[in-house]
A and B are shown apart, each in its own frame.
Chain A
Amino acid sequence: MNVLAWIVLGLPFVAFLILLAPPKEPPRKLTRALAVAPIGIGFLLSVTIFGVYLSRPGDERLEVSSLWEWIDIGGLPVDLAIQVDDLTVYMMLVITGIGSMILLFATDYMEPDRDYRRFFAEMNFFVFSMLLLVMAGNFFFLIVGWGLVGLASYLLIGYYYDRPSAVAASKKAFVINVIGDVGMVLAAFLLVRELGTLDYGEVFARADSELGQGTGTSEAIAFLLLVGVAAKSAQFPLHTWLPDAMEGPTPVSALIHAATMVTAGVYLIVRCQVLYQNAPIASDTIAVIGAITLFFAATIAFMQEDIKRVLAWSTVSQIGYMIMGAGLGLYGAAMFHLLMHAFFKALLFLSAGAVIHALAGEQSLNRMGGLRRHLGWPTLGFLVGAFALAGIAPFSGFFSKDEILEQAIELGAFGISLAVVGTIGSVMTAFYAFRAYFRAFEGPDREGGYGHLHRTNWRMVIPIAVLTVGAAFAGWVQVPSGWHLIDDWLEPAFLAAPDVKATVTSEVIISLSTFVFGLAAIGLAWWMFGRGSEWRLRHANVLPGVRRVVEDQYMLNEVYDEVFVKSGKDLGDAMARDVEPGGVFRSVKTTVGVFLAAAAGLRWMQSGLVRSYVFVFIVGAAVIAAVVILSGVI
């Protein structure tokens, strides 16, 4: 299996190198083949690994393989190693499966772009980095993958490099991700200090006995990792980069900023569940952060006028559910929601992308309406995606989101209160998802009509169709009180998962309330937005203060700008312009001046003749050498 796994990891990297190699833009057909094939083959190989593992008993579904001893430093060996277990395979399937669909879509979406191959080179680089992140066999290469996906994300957000907003967004994303990286490396330092190793196997085996339950060290490691989680998965308070990341091309938003990279934080918590089960305070904090994020992101999604930004905030909110679940120890449910979310969010982005493509780059909901009558597949895709996102039975999001909420109820008052937040958030989700749907696809056409619409060809339709099926039916793999295929599959990788089973009562309560209130929210959305812009424009000025605050994302960007960026700049300017030439220099200069004055006879040195200085130096050195020799003799 190891060979296959290495091939899966290596293919996108090789494709990245080949795509970059030619000095001129290669033929587009070749680029297309080189871009999609590695990920597609990777998916088939991942399925093969999955099949083989399926036939094995649970305790044999773990293989570690090392390419070479990458470094051995002061008794701390780090191998370039991968670990393939159930969780890894699960993530590999998500990344390559969804990834190949999105790349296929992108071959058409990016057709008008003149930098065709750069896009696909960077996309393949991203897939490679993401696979490295989930396949790494130790914390070091986890961090390497973690950093490299940040780089790939940076490159792709700033893909349109001549657009200042894209450049600014990419920088913001990068810097926030580096803050996350710092949290991760500090956690790694702590692991080395306490355990002397970075290997998953050893760390997890020894964590219980050597780090201890609820000790300061365990909590510190978990909190430091949490910084990385919050930055990468766009959780409060480090979420501000993700909405801006929509500056990247839409397939990038679909793959990186919805389906895969931003869920890395969930993967990390599940992977490190042993550490988190030892750190109850950190785990509870994570759950609360998830709940805060899912709620506030949903409110912000109410106010967005850009179709991609609605989806971006819904991503922040949905990851909030996963993070909340993972913080509560509901690892199976969180991973289930991760997969379902990958399906429906990729679908929503691709459908939105098809719309944007058809409208030649238009993203504003104000300039849409009635598209149902013009675009077939994107409408179906968006509708199914919206149902799945809203968590309406029997679409996929219903099963996974409700599972998190149902199991949370079993965890006492803390769990119940979070479940209540989650349920309210779910109803809000249904509302904003259909607000976007009705405004874009229903009602009358926009003023002035559409004129010529770019046609969607098969390379766009197939991914949308496949993901539509996934978003519609994939939820059935895990049915309450029925079967739990995903939990069963991941069971061997769950080293420390508490066994939480939802009771029938909680299942009924949650399912009914999300279903009924969700439908009601959809109905409300239809009443407000389904019949054209009339109602919306009439009420555009209700509660202006509240609207402005929400539209400004609760002013967080402004606060960060004021507190961190501006004051940092001021400090830097003060140092560079005032202290540097004045303070430090002057103090040192004074010292030197005293020194020079003492050697008053050497005043002529200030004649500035370089040669004379050097001359003096040589003579001085000779004198000194003589003194040395003499003093040695004496």
Chain B
Amino acid sequence: MILAPFVAALFVIALPPQIGVLPVRAMAMVGALVALAANCYILAGFDRDGAELQFVDTQEWATQVGLEWNVGVDGIAIWLVLLTTVLFTLAIIATILRPPSREPQFLMLLLMGETALLGLFTANNLVLFYVFWEAMLIPFAFMIGIWGNEDRREALMRFVVYTMVGSLVMLVAVVGTAFVARDVTGQFTYEIQALRAVDFTETQSTLLFAGFALAFAIKLPLWPFHGWLPRAYGAAPLLVTALLAAVMSKAAVYGLLRVGVPVFPEGADNFTIPLLTLAVIGIVYGSVVAWRQDSMRMLIGYSSLAHLGFIVLGIMAFDVIGGQGAVLQMVNHGIVVAASFAIVAVISRAANREMIDSVSGLSAVAPRMAYVFLLVAMAALAIPGSNAFVGEFFILTGTFRWHVWAASLATIGIVYAAIYMLRLYQDSFMGPLRATGRATDAELTVKDAIYMAPLVLAMLFIAFYPAALVGATEASIKRAVAPAQIAADRPPEDIAEPVVPNPPPAVQPLPGDEPDLTAEDAGAPR
């Protein structure tokens, strides 16, 4: 059995000694790096053509009620895990380089956040998924609440209330799923892989999917459930905003792809049109609103709303190309949005409260920053040839095959992306030189370069060789979307792979009768 050591390591590190800042920094770095190293190890041994979960680790917990520690990665999860470990490592480096007040606590919360997200992306048990889903809220809430600006109370309240509403609905859905599944198959389990095979009736599937979808829609956020976003993004420390947009927003789309669509294909099919509509509205709305923002941070924040709409399109198209594009775009968006916020952080040293109109013409004094910003801006507006273009292109290719209207309307977002990103770039870096602070402060320093270089290199790497990521996602995506394709009555030649519904229920006892439930994942490699 292969352990997933990074998760355990993080639990240890999450409670660092509170003496002196140096050991804390060292511990934080070690924690992040161990996770990253473990991740690389998994990546090296990962079977790129496998659809199953790999590196599965199962520990008994409360098996009689179907609870167990069950984690593993497939071709989708592994990239999100990688994104999480890399971005959190960079976040910790950035924190150490420019320490906030009460640095040890901040680092601790960052590590807790990382743990929660890693757990979420690897969970193969609905309860575990839910626990991590809730757990990730805690550190982020604290970081907003303690280190946020003067609007943080209002922001935090919205953030918590919105998310809690979604969570409660999801909780009902989680429990409901297990019980309904028991009625159908006679087997009580929360294991996602096993639940996939359960043949729910259409009503069950629809209702349960609706529960999950609402939670995901709030977390994403999907228009019009984005009420918490402007306040939270606006009030949080920039680093936290970056992580919210880059990593936490992926939790919801990941859940949609991992739980929503494969477990409840009929329900997902019934919700296709509404979700696609909301995604398209979100793309257009987010882009237009982003264009008219006064603050750099909010411009990027709203653009994130639009970009996540693209990812939802790719998932809800139930198309292998679209799904693979969506996974790639999750990674791309994480990298690009993190880099964008990093740039805002640098520029705001010369600006007044991150206001776009407080600086202009910075190219003259910050030429290196101008190049980096240009590169990131081009990736953010997905110019052909950039990494983000690859994702968007294939998402829309897949969407276009089945929903021409959605893909066509979504292209409005591409045009607006050019408009708002150029507004940000040109207003700050072109035109006559003007700055509220010292204009030269906007130049890239070595410190900034340390955490920005990996992001930029990752963008370039994906632009030149996207097959490295995309190649490993095909089998998993096929498995994830095939049931939904059948539910959507696609022609047989377009079904990604055959689906076997309802595994023989006879061998699985009812809860309480037989404590050993691990037999059901005998197919997974150990």
Which residue numbers of A lie inside 8 Å of B, CB to CB?
20, 23, 68-76, 140, 143-148, 150-151, 155, 158, 161-162, 164, 167, 170-171, 174-175, 178-179, 181-182, 185-186, 188-190, 192-193, 568-569, 571-573, 575-577, 580, 584-585, 587-589, 592, 595-596, 606, 608, 610-611, 613-614, 617-618, 620-621, 624-625, 628-629, 631-633
Neighbouring B residues of A192 by C-beta, 8 Å: 321, 397, 400-401
Neighbouring B residues of A72 by C-beta, 8 Å: 467, 470-471, 474
A-B contact sample (14 more), CB < 8 A, given A146-B384, A186-B408, A584-B223: A70-B467, A73-B474, A74-B321, A74-B398, A74-B477, A76-B397, A158-B430, A175-B415, A181-B414, A192-B397, A575-B289, A592-B161, A628-B174, A633-B64
**Assuming the A-B contacts A182-B411, A617-B138, are A610 and B400 also in contact, with contact meaning beta carbons closer than 8 angstroms in the complex?**
no
Do A572 and B292 touch across chains, with their CB atoms under 8 A apart? Answer: yes
Neighbouring A residues of B325 by C-beta, 8 Å: 73
Chain B residues within 8 Å of chain A by Cβ, number: 90
A614–B141 CA distance with the chains assembled, in angstroms: 8
A624–B396 CA distance with the chains assembled, in angstroms: 40
Do A631 and B175 touch across chains, with their CB atoms under 8 A apart? Answer: yes
Neighbouring A residues of B401 by C-beta, 8 Å: 189, 192-193
The minimal Cβ–Cβ distance linking A132 to chain B, given in whole angstroms, is 9
Do A73 and B470 touch across chains, with their CB atoms under 8 A apart? Answer: yes
Instruction: Tell me if A's interface is mostly helix, strand, loop or mixed.
Output: helix
Do B466 and A161 touch across chains, with their CB atoms under 8 A apart? Answer: no
Neighbouring A residues of B368 by C-beta, 8 Å: 23
Do B411 and A186 touch across chains, with their CB atoms under 8 A apart? Answer: yes
Give me 16 A-to-B residue pairs in the complex whose CB atoms sit less than 8 angstroms apart, sorted by A's number.
A71-B471, A72-B467, A73-B324, A73-B325, A74-B474, A74-B477, A144-B389, A151-B378, A167-B426, A179-B415, A182-B414, A182-B415, A572-B291, A580-B289, A632-B62, A632-B175
Do B67 and A576 touch across chains, with their CB atoms under 8 A apart? Answer: no
Do B414 and A618 touch across chains, with their CB atoms under 8 A apart? Answer: no
Neighbouring B residues of A625 by C-beta, 8 Å: 131
Do A190 and B400 touch across chains, with their CB atoms under 8 A apart? Answer: yes
A144–B386 CA distance with the chains assembled, in angstroms: 9
Interface string of B135-156 (1 = CB under 8 A from A): 0011001100110000011001
Do B385 and A189 touch across chains, with their CB atoms under 8 A apart? Answer: no
A164–B434 CA distance with the chains assembled, in angstroms: 13
Do B141 and A613 touch across chains, with their CB atoms under 8 A apart? Answer: yes
A190–B383 CA distance with the chains assembled, in angstroms: 20
**Assuming the A-B contacts A182-B415, A572-B291, A613-B141, are A148 and B467 also in contact, with contact meaning beta carbons closer than 8 angstroms in the complex?**
no
Answer yes or no: B164 CB below 8 A from chain A CBs: yes
Neighbouring B residues of A621 by C-beta, 8 Å: 134
**Assuming the A-B contacts A70-B467, A188-B397, are A20 and B127 also in contact, with contact meaning beta carbons closer than 8 angstroms in the complex?**
no
Do A629 and B408 touch across chains, with their CB atoms under 8 A apart? Answer: no
Which of A161, A569, A575, A617 is the one whose CB lies under 8 Å from B431?
A161
Answer yes or no: B227 CB below 8 A from chain A CBs: yes
Do B227 and A628 touch across chains, with their CB atoms under 8 A apart? Answer: no
The minimal Cβ–Cβ distance linking A29 to chain B, given in whole angstroms, is 22
Which 10 pairs show the lowest CB-CB distances between chains A and B?
A147-B384, A632-B65, A610-B145, A74-B320, A74-B321, A189-B400, A572-B292, A576-B292, A588-B227, A161-B430
Neighbouring A residues of B288 by C-beta, 8 Å: 568, 571-572, 575-576
A133–B418 CA distance with the chains assembled, in angstroms: 21
Neighbouring A residues of B418 by C-beta, 8 Å: 174-175, 178
A617–B160 CA distance with the chains assembled, in angstroms: 9
Do B394 and A73 touch across chains, with their CB atoms under 8 A apart? Answer: yes
Which of A69, A147, A155 is the one whose CB lies under 8 Å from B467?
A69
Which of B138, B422, B432 is the one whose CB lies under 8 Å from A162?
B432
A75–B322 CA distance with the chains assembled, in angstroms: 12
Neighbouring A residues of B512 by C-beta, 8 Å: 633
Neighbouring B residues of A167 by C-beta, 8 Å: 426, 430-431
A162–B430 CA distance with the chains assembled, in angstroms: 6
Neighbouring A residues of B467 by C-beta, 8 Å: 68-72
**Assuming the A-B contacts A178-B418, A588-B225, A633-B512, are A73 and B153 also in contact, with contact meaning beta carbons closer than 8 angstroms in the complex?**
no
Which of A162, A569, A577, A617 is the one whose CB lies under 8 Å from B137?
A617
**Assuming the A-B contacts A161-B361, A575-B288, are A189 and B407 also in contact, with contact meaning beta carbons closer than 8 angstroms in the complex?**
yes
Answer yes or no: B293 CB below 8 A from chain A CBs: yes
A161–B365 CA distance with the chains assembled, in angstroms: 12
A147–B320 CA distance with the chains assembled, in angstroms: 26
Neighbouring A residues of B461 by C-beta, 8 Å: none
Do B384 and A144 touch across chains, with their CB atoms under 8 A apart? Answer: yes
The minimal Cβ–Cβ distance linking A143 to chain B, given in whole angstroms, is 5
Answer yes or no: B264 CB below 8 A from chain A CBs: no
Answer yes or no: B191 CB below 8 A from chain A CBs: no
Interface string of B351-382 (1 = CB under 8 A from A): 00000000001011000100100100010010
Interface string of B15-31 (1 = CB under 8 A from A): 00000000000000000
Neighbouring A residues of B164 by C-beta, 8 Å: 617, 620
Instruction: Tell me if B's interface is mostly helix, strand, loop or mixed.
Output: helix
Closest to A198 in B: B397
Neighbouring A residues of B237 by C-beta, 8 Å: none
Neighbouring B residues of A158 by C-beta, 8 Å: 426, 430
The minimal Cβ–Cβ distance linking B413 to chain A, given in whole angstroms, is 10
Answer yes or no: B212 CB below 8 A from chain A CBs: no
Neighbouring B residues of A146 by C-beta, 8 Å: 384
**Assuming the A-B contacts A171-B426, A174-B418, A178-B418, are A185 and B411 also in contact, with contact meaning beta carbons closer than 8 angstroms in the complex?**
yes
A607–B482 CA distance with the chains assembled, in angstroms: 49
Which of A23, A185, A569, A584 is the one whose CB lies under 8 Å from B227?
A584
Answer yes or no: B341 CB below 8 A from chain A CBs: no
The minimal Cβ–Cβ distance linking B491 to chain A, given in whole angstroms, is 13
Answer yes or no: B9 CB below 8 A from chain A CBs: no
The minimal Cβ–Cβ distance linking A536 to chain B, given in whole angstroms, is 36
Answer yes or no: B458 CB below 8 A from chain A CBs: no
Which of B138, B432, B511 is the one whose CB lies under 8 Å from A618?
B138
A179–B412 CA distance with the chains assembled, in angstroms: 9
Neighbouring A residues of B364 by C-beta, 8 Å: 161-162
Answer yes or no: B171 CB below 8 A from chain A CBs: yes
Answer yes or no: B285 CB below 8 A from chain A CBs: yes
Answer yes or no: B3 CB below 8 A from chain A CBs: no
A633–B64 CA distance with the chains assembled, in angstroms: 8
Residues 316-340 of B at the A interface (beta carbon under 8 Å): 319-325
Neighbouring A residues of B321 by C-beta, 8 Å: 73-76, 192
Do B289 and A576 touch across chains, with their CB atoms under 8 A apart? Answer: yes
Which of B145, B292, B324, B396 is the one whose CB lies under 8 Å from A74?
B324
Do B160 and A613 touch across chains, with their CB atoms under 8 A apart? Answer: yes
Closest to B469 in A: A71
Residues 163-183 of B at the A interface (beta carbon under 8 Å): 164-165, 171, 174-175, 178
Closest to A121 in B: B371
A499–B418 CA distance with the chains assembled, in angstroms: 42
Neighbouring B residues of A181 by C-beta, 8 Å: 384, 414
**Assuming the A-B contacts A186-B408, A632-B66, A633-B65, are A587 and B378 also in contact, with contact meaning beta carbons closer than 8 angstroms in the complex?**
no
The minimal Cβ–Cβ distance linking B112 to chain A, given in whole angstroms, is 12
Do B384 and A148 touch across chains, with their CB atoms under 8 A apart? Answer: yes
Neighbouring B residues of A618 by C-beta, 8 Å: 138
Do A595 and B165 touch across chains, with their CB atoms under 8 A apart? Answer: yes
Neighbouring B residues of A175 by C-beta, 8 Å: 415, 418-419, 422
